[in-house]
Every structure is written in structure tokens, then in C-alpha cells.
Structure 1
Amino acid sequence: MSARDLSVLLGVILIVIMLVIPLPGGLLSFLILTNITIALIVILVTMNTQEPLDFAIFPSLLLLLTLFRLGLNVSTTRSILSEADAGGVIDTFGNFVTGGNTFVGFVIFLILVIIQFIVITKGAERVSEVAARFTLDAMPGKQMSIDADLNAGLITEQQAKERREKIENEADFYGAMDGASKFVKGDAIAGLVIVLINIIFGFIIGMTQMGLSLNETVHVFMRLTVGDGLVSQIPALLIATATGIIVTRVAAEGNLSYDVTAQLFRYPKLLYVAAGAIFLLGLTPINFGLTTFIAAILGVGGFYLDSSKQQQTDIEEFVDEEEETSQEMSSPESVVQLLNNDPIEFEFGYALIPIADANQGGDLLDRIVMIRRQLALELGIVIPVVRIRDNIQLNPNEYQLKIKGNEVAKGELYLNHYLAMSPDIEDDSIEGIDTKEPAFGMPAKWINEEMKDEAELSGYTVVDPPSVVSTHITEVIKKYASELLGREETKQLIDHLKESHPILVEEVTPDPLSTGDIQRILGRLLDEQVAVRNLPVIFETLADFGKMTTDTDLLTEYCRQALSVQITKQYMNEDGVIKVVTLSPNIEKSIIDHVQQTEHGNFLNIEPEQQQSIIEAVNQEVNRAFIQDSVTIVLCSPAIRMYVKQLISRYLPEVVVLSYNELEPDADVESAGVVNLT
């Protein structure tokens, strides 16, 4: 235990001793001066803190100081009543303040108590209550503001965490100050009660037990009581003032002295007005020389401050001009900043501002936070922050999504409307603006509030605008997930896996596979909606086959087969069945025969006419199966799966291509048709 910790513990023990054991006068004097010194240090510290949290220990310190002062009161009361002596400090204070008149001293003491109790303590207590209440009420809004800044990319995750902790600490601090201010109030009341006890029982003891006359009793006990009250109330007054200062402090540029002088004398010309008013007072019977002297001081001070302010303004303007000139001359850094693109951008017209503005009830920012968390769980990658901004170049109700600066999707929203969707129902009684659901392209209508209940009764699915745009953002990010996974993001995933599987990562990268190789493999998996959350399985596969080949296409196929449990579950319907369309043997043989092997990898070299025939055959069979059984999965042999996907992906991107090895052996697979060449 350090000496610092030991000193605090010994101080608490000393307080307990003062409550029980009588202390000699010399030690009492030392402790009284220590109490005054600590109180002076406390008020100086509170005046020099910029924020209340810089002195977060103040509530606990306030309790200890109050207990210490009450312990001193008990000890001094014991000494006054038992020995008519409480040390040199109390005796000196009593003689100096009373000046030979004990009643004057008592009046001065009462004035100090009134100032502390009614003015400072009462005000500090009220401010503490209001500050605690307002701080707690403002917490949700501050949290949402932090989330908004985080989603907008203005702050990092670490900065957001620090701001949240600061908000929580502020709430705890003001809550503690609300309770601690009661100590100050109770201390003032206790001091007044102790003084009355000293006077009443001092008279009784002095006249009955000590045999003193009335005048002697008044002189001795009133003088000691006033001295005791003063040495107790002066530090109590300082602590009460410090309490008022710290609970009334707001975020500022400097300490209290700096803020007072900077803000009180912010407008130097007002000192001229004050000087003129004081000078005019001298024309009345008030002392003309004194008012003229004060007016002169105010005038000279105003002139000095005005000159200093003008000089500071000139310097700032010059510095600003120099900085602007320097930037305009040529700043490579500023030019480079113009080249940066945000990974994901969401822009909208001015009519859609309410969905993003929390002050108008918009919750888009909160929804995007949830989208990022949801996709992190579904895809296994960290989705970058979505930059949200309004764009006056868009139509009022229009929005667009950009991935790395390129527009990839757009849509239209009508606030105060609902999107009614139903692919199988056409009800002419449901009136609205015809449109298409932006995420999946289904026919839909924008209907008003009055038509909502009727549309739901007619079988339509009714969705509010924020849900529409949230779904659209989610689907777009899923579609372009591979583009959002660069080498930096891949390195973050590798580092995260290395914390739990260090040996596995060392076997895979940097040898035999580089970060770029792993990024391409994960990107190809994401391109076909295969989540990469199960990184240990993927790296186990790469560790097994990475030494045999570095062909990323082939390694991707091995990874897909290793994720067979995940893929099987992903494409299984509610009945536990996977409905597929298979390729005929002649198509599979034709594709295998046209695979060419080179030193740079394998590729499909097939005539354009035959390619077109295969694509048309797949399209016809998938369309027929989709109408009957909602099937968009093509099942083929493992050797040709990636070539089939490459062949049809440009024309039929929504068709899923699986191989037999990517499905579990016990999976219930049902064929809905066979693709044949005519």
C-alpha cells in the first residue's frame, strides 16, 4: 500500500478518534488550521478546473471533509465545556473578531451562518438537483447524437466509446453531487446547533460547576463559542462556495478566472458607459473625487481592453489570410482529400430529411446501426460506416446509394404514405401511386394513411418508408459485399482470427497465400451470398489445400464444399427440402470438354453459339420451375460448378449454382426439372 493510500486511511481513523477521545489544545489548533488549509485548496482547485469531471472525486471528498469538520466540532465542544479552553487558534479568533464585545462577535457569526445556509448552500443544493435531473434527461439525446456522428463518419469507434463513457460519468457525477449537497446543508445546520449548545450549556457549567459570575461566563464561553464557530464556518463557507462553483460550471475554454475576465470584459466599450454613469453620480451629493477616480479607472481599462482586442483581431485576420493564401497556393494534402471516396454513401432529396433527422422523429440512423450489426452477423464482415447526406441535385423524394463513389441503386419514397405490396393481388379499390418495391422489384403502390387498413384487409403487405429504405440498403450491401471487402478489411479479419487461432493463420498466410489471395477467395464467396463468418473452417481448408494449389478459383470451390452444412441450411425451404434444377449429362460433358488448362489457371473456352444455347436452356427451365415451385437453384457436378456460374452469371445473376459436394449427404434434394439442349 502506497504512502498516499495510507495517509487517507489514517485521516479517516483520526476522524473517528476525534469523535471519541479528547484531544489536547495544541493538536486541536493544528487540526483546525489543517481544515482551513484543505478548504482553501478545494476552492482553488474548483476555480481552476475546466470541466466538473476534472474534479470527479469532489462528492466523496465533500463527505470526508464534512465528517472531519464535525469531528473537530465535537472535540472543540468537549474542550470548551470541560476545560473552558480549546487551543490558541479558537481563542485568537474569538478575541480578534469580538474585539472586546462578545455580542458583536456573535452577530458576525450569525451573519456568516445566514450567508452560507440561505444564500450559498440553498442555491448549490437547488442547482445540483436541476443539473442531475437535466443530465439524466439529456442522456438519450446525447447517445443518439454520438451514434449519428459515428454513422456519419465524423468520429471513430474509439471516440464514440470515450464520449459515451464521459456522458455516463457526468450523469454519475451530478447524481452524486445532488446527494452530496445535502451534506453541506446539514453541516450548516449542525454548526448552528453546536454553537447554541456551547452557549447554553457553557452558561450552565460556568455558573454551576466552575463558580463563574454571569459576566465572566458570558466573556469566556461566548468568546470561545464565537471563535469555535468562526474556525468551523469559514472552511464550511469555502467548501459550500466550492460546491456552488463546481455544479454551476459548464464546458469552457479555461478555468474560472480566465472565463470570468474573458467574458465579463468581452465588450470593452461597455466600460465607457459604466464610467459615464459613475461620473454622473458624482454630480450628486456623493463624493465627487471618489466617483471621478473610479470612472477614470473604468475609462482607462476600457481603452486598454479595446486596443488589445483590436490588435488581437488584426492578428487573427492576418493569420487567417495567410492560411487561406497558403492553401490556395498549393496544398497537396487538401487536393488529395478531394480524391477520397466513402465506401457507402446514402444521399436523399430535401423532402426526405425527416427520416434522417432525429429532431423530427426520424430513426434512419438507428436503423443503419442495426443493419450494420445484422450484416456483420450474417456475412461475417465489418460493414463500413454509411455516410448520410442530403443532395439538392436529387428530386425531393428521391434517394440513391453509392458504393465507393459509384451509384448502384436508387429509389423514391413518399413520406406520410405506406408501400403496399402483393405480387398476386390486384385490387382496383386500393388507390395509390404505382411503383416497384426498390429492393426486390415487386409491383407495389404508395397509399395514404386512410387506405392502410383496407389494403391490409385485402392481403397487401404494408410497409412504412423507413422500413422500405432500410430493406433496400440491406439488400444492396449484401449484393456488393465483396466490393466492400478490400485488403485492409481482410487484414482486420485475419488479425481477429489470429487472436484465437494463431497457428492456423500462420499456416495459411503470408505463405502460401497472401492477403490479396485470401481477399479474392472471401470476395468470391460473398459474390455468391456465402457468408464468411465461419473463418476457422475456411482457413482450415486453405491450410489443407493451399500447399497443393494457389489457384484462388479452385480454393474457393474447396471452401464452398467445406461449408456444406452452412450452404445446405441456407437453401433449405420450410419443409426441409432443397428444390433444384439439374443439368443433363450432355450439357455437363460439353462444358467439361471445353475447359482448358493453362499455367495461369483453368478457363472455359466454348463457342458463343453454344454458350447462348446453354444460357437459354437454363433460363427456360428455371423460369418454368420458378412458376411451379419457386426454384432458382441449378445443381451440377463439382468439376463444372464454377464454370457454369461464370457462364450464366452475367445473364442470370439471380440463379444460384450449387454442386453435389456442397450439400450434406442426408439433405433432402428434390429435382424440379432437367436442363436439356434442344
Structure 2
Amino acid sequence: MNSLKLPAWLSGMNLSGAAGKSLAAPILIIMLLAMMILPLPAFVLDLFFSFNIALSVIVLLTSLYTVKPLDFMAFPTVLLVSTMLRLSLNVASTRVVLTEGHTGADAAGKVIEAFGHFLIGGNYTVGIVVFVILTIINFVVVTKGAGRIAEVGARFALDAMPGKQMAIDADLNAGLIGEPEARRRRNEVSQEAEFYGAMDGASKYVRGDAIAGIMVTVINIVGGLLVGLIQHDMAFGDALKNYTLLAIGDGLVAQIPSLIISIAAGIVVSRVASDSDIGTQVIGQLFAKPQVLYITAAIIGGMGLIPGMPNLVFLLLAAALGGSAYLMAKRAKEQAEAPEAEAAAAAAAGGQTAAPEQEEASWQDILPVDTLGLEVGYRLIPLVDKAQGGELLKRIKGIRKKFAQEVGFLAPPVHIRDNLELKPSAYRIALKGVEVGAGEAFNGQFLAINPGMASGTLQGMETTDPAFGLPAVWIDAAQRDEAQSMGYTVVDAGTVVATHLNHLITTHASELLGRAEVQSLLDHLGKDSPKLVEDLVPKMISLSGLQKVLQNLLAEGVHIRDMRTIIETLAEHTAQSQDPNELTALVRIALGRAIVQQLFPNGGELSVMTLDNRLERLLMQALSTGGEAGIEPGLADTIAQQANAAAQQQEALGLTPVLLVPGPLRALLSRFLRRALPQLKVLSHAEIPETKTIRVTALVGAN
């Protein structure tokens, strides 16, 4: 026998792996079209009908074990392909039934014969009734309901997209997630809307398939009678029996897989997403309460006592339900008593039969003051309780991680506790035991913040954003979409607290940098550059001196991520000066490019404010005679007022308020203006890189 040779183009093609998967869809579509056109023998029909049944069972089981609808994202396409497969089989089987039906019930294959004989008992009247009932169930109940759920799900998914996108952006800004995770979530949101829309459209195919199944069956019966009576001279009774059984068997073989896949579609679109599959979810929730089973057992047992009822069946079922409820209640009681029994055993082992005596005071009673503390009222406890699904703990972890990445050192952990002395929805943030911020956050509601461009008013409790002082309104969840459409920034209560905490940590970064944190920074840098660290601390500068320089930088909002540059600059100049302020000025010059990048992230020209020449000369004279104390009070008040007006003008234009001054005046004006204008940054000419272009937008002291 000669071996079969494949064409050269086909033999060179890799049909395994990704290439094979990419060819599967075109090959399948071509096969479906070929089945409609080319005649198929009965054995091939049996093979495809069996595959159709197996495919429907696979789809049903996959939907049952799916945790989220997006886990079976290919379901709409599978629905379309399976529908086309059934229609193709109907066309192919119709051709065989009409051409070979006169030869007997096995003319169209063993599968159709089995459904025609064994499932409907060989009685075409029973077959017609069963076929009509299955079609009605599939068309009127399952498919119509699944299509309606998919339609509503698509509508709600589209309506919820803006809110979900805002929530993702809020998590990203709070540092809870990174950019890759945010991108993945945005894709998931859009895919969810597309999935429900595709399911809404795909359900129409199944409904059309049910209608086509009825029409094909009727056409097969009528066409078969005509072919049997006219072409093959069969008796009317024989023709009716043969072709009706074949047509009904053919219809049932197609409708049963169709019904199975319709049920799978209903399961996928009707379930609520959770962390468990549908079986675990249903069993865990339907049979979770013993009281429900006790009552059901009593009702079923009462029905079993009624004369004429199938007493044995009802009583056995009532006994099974009652026994299950008893076992569930016993197990729950044992789980609840276990901790108490352990506590009692521990007490017995220690020989304690009464309350212990009050212990003497000791040094262990003196608790250290928390560097960072967050106290919440009792209504905000769910936000910080993992057991109640609180997300604030994760947000705080994200804040500390983002702070470390941006600022350059690890902030101390935030100790969280409840405080019954606070209002139920209030919270306070403490730094070294002293309150630095407080506010109210209403769990379950949303804070609509007006960034200055919102149009319209909202019904709710008016307030201000605790972090930045912007006007805001506490609204219900039902108003969320309306507020977003008006231009408000809408965040939940946990985000409000997290944003306020993040703002305060950034503002007080210099106070959070203790000697322990500085030593940790040096240890971390010493892993890569041990010699650099050893030569500087403590040989050239003390640990406290380095801490003071770093605190000076942080107090003015300068990040200390580039510790290598800071250490190298200090190593170069500490031999000439040990003054922390002078060293800070030198380090700022070395970090000039990073400082400018931090204030002007978009690059290009730098829009800044400067001092009038006369004011500049007066300040230089005051600096030479008496420092900051040498500035005349009237002049100081004028500088503060004009700097404030110029800064507001800069912010109105969307620019960062930056005052550019000569090097000797920078520290003086920065300390003087920092308390009144914390948003204003003061730079010296030496800190501006030579590659940058400067544009003066305002003069302070020109009037």
C-alpha cells in the first residue's frame, strides 16, 4: 500500500502549539460549511452528533466551575459555533433522511435511530410531544431569560464603567495598586461590558436555533411523506412512521444539546461573581442555616402524615432533612465552644480558680508613643477590619510603599485603634501622640469633591475635603453617577481617610525621619557603596548632622531618593563647613536637576516669579545686617501679600508657584514664606540647570 503524502505546504506547517490553535477556528468553519453542502455518510453523522452532545456537556460543566463570567470569555463565540454546528448537522441529516429514509429507521445513523426508538419509545406521537415541550422550555424559558439577564447586565456594566474607572484611578493615586495592575483592571472593566453585550447578541442565535429546529422538523416530516409516497411508492402509514420517527429523532438530537448549552448560558450570566464556583456557592448558601432545614422537615413530615399521600417517601425525606439540620447545628455549636474550652483548659493548667491579683506597676507599663497613629470612631471600624472586608489597611500599605518609592525612605508604620470618645464617623491622625489632622468619613457614602470645574449642585451634607480644603458634598451611592457626570471627583470613605493620611505623611516627612531611619538609609546604601558611607559617617559628619541636612531638604519638599549624590556632595564640602544650612544649600545645588524635574514634570520652559530689583537690593542689605529679623515688619507684610497674590495667579494659570531668587536670599525667603504659603517653592539661580529656559510670569515687589 502506498503511503499517503501530504502537500508540501501542509507538511511544512506546524499544527501543534500556537499555530495549531490558530488554525482550529478556520478549519472548523470550513467543516461547518462543507457539512451543509457535501453529503455525509451515516457513520460520519453519528460521529458529529456524538461530538455535539459531548461539546454541550463540556460547555455546561465549564460554566458550572467558572468563578467569574470573564473566566469563560470565549462563551459567546462558543455559543455561535455550537449553534452553527447544530444547524449544519440538521442540513446534513435532512439530506440523508429524505434520500435514504425509505430504507428504515437507521438510514440517518444509529444516534438518530436511538433517539427515535429508545428515548421516545418508537411512538411518533410521544416524540412530537416531547420535542415540542423541549423546544418550548428552551425557547420560552431558558433562552429568553438568559437573553434578558445578559441585556440588563450589559446595560448596567456600561453604566458602571465610569465609576469603576474612577475607583481604579483613586486606588492608583493612593498607591494601593501599580500601573500594570491599573491597566489590567481597566481592561477587565471594558471586557466585562463587551462580554455581556456579546452574550446579549449570542442569545439571539440560540432562540433562532429553536425556531429553526421546529421548522426543520416540520419540513422533514412533510418532505419525507412526499418523497416516500411519490418517489418510493410507500404506503401512507409506513411513510408517516418512518419519516416522522427520523425527523423527531433528528430534532431531539439537536434540541437536547441546544437545551444544555442554553442552561449553561443562563448559569454564566445569572450568577454573581464570588471566589467560589456555582456548586460551592449554592450548597454553602442554600443549606447554611439549620433552622431552615428544621422547618422544611416539619412541613414535609406533616404532609407525609396526610392519608393518601406517599407517606414513606415524605417521612424518609423529612427524617433526612431533620438529621442534616441536627448535624449542622451540632457542628456549629462545637466550633463555637472550642475557643472557650481552650481558655478553660489553659486556666486549669495554670491553677487559676479566681481572678488574678493586680500586678505591681513596672517599666513594661510605659508604652512608647506611636510615631504615626490613626484613631477611628466605631462606625469606621469596618474600614480597618479585615474580617469585615475593610480595604483601608491595604490602602495604608500602598501609601507607605508609594511614599518610600517617591520620597526616599520608609515611613513608620501606622498604628490603628478605635476611640469611643470620637464621634461615630470621625477620625484623627496623630504624629508622635499629637493630633495633626482630623475629619469625618461616612462609611457607605461617597464624597463628591468639586475640583473647580463642576456644574450643578448635589443633595447631601456639604463639607470640605479634609486633605486639600476643596468644597465637597457627602452623597448617597445612588447619586454617584450623577455627580461624576457633573464633573465632581467621587471617592469612597476609605479613600478620603487614605488621601488625608497620605497628604499629612508627605507634609510632615521631615518629622518622620528619625535617627533610626537615617541609619537604615545608610545601611541600605552601604550594601552597594560601603566605602562611601564609611568615609562620611562618622568621620566627616555625625549621624545627627546628616539627619539635620536631610530634614532640611524634606521640610522644603525635596525628595531624598538620590542618596548617592547627597552623600558625595557632603563628602566633598564637610571639610570646609559643618553648618547644616550651608550644607543643605550645597546639596540642593547638586540636586537641582531633580528638584526642577519634581516641580516641572513636563519639562520645557520654567514659568517662575522673581523679585523686583529694588526689593532684591533691600533684602540683600537686610540679610547682611540682621538676617530674617532685620526685615522691616511693613516690608515683610508687603512681601507676603504680593507673593500670595502672585502665587494665586500662577495657580489660576495651571502653573506651579515657584519664586526664583539669588542664592543668598533663598533660605531666608523660604523660611519666611513657608508658613504662610506652603504651596510656594523658592529656588535659587544656582539650582536651575543650564539647559532650562526661564520665563518670568510675575514680579514680587514691583508696586
Give the structure-2-normalised TM-score. Answer: 0.62
Q: Distance in 1 between matches of 2:244 and 2:153?
A: 41
Q: Distance in 1 between matches of 2:467 and 2:47?
A: 79
Q: Cα gap change, 1:404/1:239 in structure 2, threshold over 3 Å: closer, same or farther?
A: farther
Q: Secondary structure at the match of 2:436?
A: strand
Aligned partner of 1:211 in structure 2 is 233
Q: Secondary structure at the match of 1:407?
A: strand
Q: Distance in 1 between matches of 2:520 and 2:190?
A: 30
1:88 aligns with 2:110: yes
How many residue pairs match? The answer is 558
Within 5 Å, give how 1:559-638 maps onto structure 2: 559-562=587-590, 579-580=615-616, 581-584=618-621, 587=624, 614=627, 616-618=629-631, 620=633, 623=636, 626=639, 630=643
Could you tell me whether the CA contact under 8 Å between 1:203 and 1:218 is conserved in 2? yes
- Once the two structures are TM-superposed, the CA of residue 211 in structure 1 deviates from its matched residue by 3.1
- Once the two structures are TM-superposed, the CA of residue 118 in structure 1 deviates from its matched residue by 1.4
Within 5 Å, give how 1:343-358 maps onto structure 2: none
Could you tell me whether the CA contact under 8 Å between 2:64 and 2:277 is conserved in 1? yes
Could you tell me whether the CA contact under 8 Å between 1:439 and 1:471 is conserved in 2? yes
Could you report, residue by residue, the CA deviation over 1:503-562 in whole angstroms, capped at 9, with x for unpaired residues?
xx9999565259999987664323134x449x78x9668667756759794654234224
> What code does the residue aligned with 2:204 have?
K
> What code does the residue aligned with 1:279 have?
G
- Once the two structures are TM-superposed, the CA of residue 325 in structure 1 deviates from its matched residue by 8.3
- Once the two structures are TM-superposed, the CA of residue 122 in structure 1 deviates from its matched residue by 1.6
Within 5 Å, give how 1:152-301 maps onto structure 2: 166-251=188-273, 254-265=276-287, 266=289, 267-281=292-306, 283=307, 286=308, 288=309, 291-301=310-320
Could you tell me whether the CA contact under 8 Å between 1:349 and 1:393 is conserved in 2? no
Aligned partner of 2:337 in structure 1 is 318
Within 5 Å, give how 1:27-66 maps onto structure 2: 27-66=44-83
Q: Secondary structure at the match of 1:211?
A: coil
Q: Cα gap change, 1:397/1:622 in structure 2, threshold over 3 Å: closer, same or farther?
A: farther
Bigger Cα displacement from structure 2, 224-233 vs 552-561: 552-561
Q: Cα gap change, 1:275/1:438 in structure 2, threshold over 3 Å: closer, same or farther?
A: closer
Aligned partner of 1:525 in structure 2 is 553
- Once the two structures are TM-superposed, the CA of residue 202 in structure 1 deviates from its matched residue by 1.9
1:305 aligns with 2:333: no
1:105 aligns with 2:133: no
Q: Cα gap change, 1:251/1:202 in structure 2, threshold over 3 Å: closer, same or farther?
A: same
**Which ranges in structure 2 are unaligned for 5 or more consecutive residues?**
1-13, 102-106, 350-363, 384-391, 442-446, 451-464, 470-492, 538-542, 601-605, 645-657
Q: Cα gap change, 1:235/1:556 in structure 2, threshold over 3 Å: closer, same or farther?
A: same
- Once the two structures are TM-superposed, the CA of residue 408 in structure 1 deviates from its matched residue by 2.5
Bigger Cα displacement from structure 2, 168-177 vs 477-486: 477-486
Q: Distance in 2 between matches of 1:204 and 1:88?
A: 24
> What code does the residue aligned with 1:44 have?
L
Q: Distance in 2 between matches of 1:664 and 1:577?
A: 22
Aligned partner of 1:512 in structure 2 is 532
- Once the two structures are TM-superposed, the CA of residue 238 in structure 1 deviates from its matched residue by 0.9
- Percent identity between matched residues is 34
1:558 to 555, 573, 586: 586
Q: Distance in 1 between matches of 2:201 and 2:518?
A: 51
Report the RMSD for the aligned CA atoms in angstroms: 6.0
Q: Distance in 2 between matches of 1:162 and 1:404?
A: 39
2:139 to 117, 120, 129: 117
Q: Distance in 2 between matches of 1:395 and 1:619?
A: 46
Q: Distance in 2 between matches of 1:394 and 1:300?
A: 54
Could you report, residue by residue, the CA deviation over 1:149-191 in whole angstroms, capped at 9, with x for unpaired residues?
8889998988877766655444333232222212211211121
Q: Secondary structure at the match of 1:512?
A: helix
Q: Distance in 2 between matches of 1:555 and 1:492?
A: 21
Give the structure-1-normalised TM-score. Answer: 0.63
Could you tell me whether the CA contact under 8 Å between 2:429 and 2:436 is conserved in 1? yes
Could you tell me whether the CA contact under 8 Å between 2:69 and 2:268 is conserved in 1? yes
- Once the two structures are TM-superposed, the CA of residue 312 in structure 1 deviates from its matched residue by 1.2
Q: Cα gap change, 1:486/1:223 in structure 2, threshold over 3 Å: closer, same or farther?
A: farther
Could you tell me whether the CA contact under 8 Å between 1:341 and 1:405 is conserved in 2? yes
Aligned partner of 1:71 in structure 2 is 88
Q: Distance in 2 between matches of 1:20 and 1:176?
A: 29
Q: Secondary structure at the match of 1:174?
A: helix
Q: Distance in 2 between matches of 1:15 and 1:486?
A: 73
Could you tell me whether the CA contact under 8 Å between 2:428 and 2:437 is conserved in 1? yes
Could you tell me whether the CA contact under 8 Å between 1:619 and 1:652 is conserved in 2? no
> What code does the residue aligned with 1:83 have?
E
> What code does the residue aligned with 2:39 have?
P
- Once the two structures are TM-superposed, the CA of residue 294 in structure 1 deviates from its matched residue by 1.6
Q: Distance in 1 between matches of 2:63 and 2:56?
A: 11
Could you tell me whether the CA contact under 8 Å between 2:301 and 2:315 is conserved in 1? no
Q: Secondary structure at the match of 2:619?
A: strand
- Once the two structures are TM-superposed, the CA of residue 110 in structure 1 deviates from its matched residue by 1.6
> What code does the residue aligned with 2:157 have?
T
Aligned partner of 2:647 in structure 1 is none
Could you report, residue by residue, the CA deviation over 1:544-598 in whole angstroms, capped at 9, with x for unpaired residues?
775675979465423422466867999986578585453449947xxxxxxxxxx
Q: Cα gap change, 1:574/1:278 in structure 2, threshold over 3 Å: closer, same or farther?
A: same
Q: Cα gap change, 1:663/1:305 in structure 2, threshold over 3 Å: closer, same or farther?
A: closer
Aligned partner of 2:460 in structure 1 is none
> What code does the residue aligned with 2:35 have?
M
1:23 aligns with 2:51: no
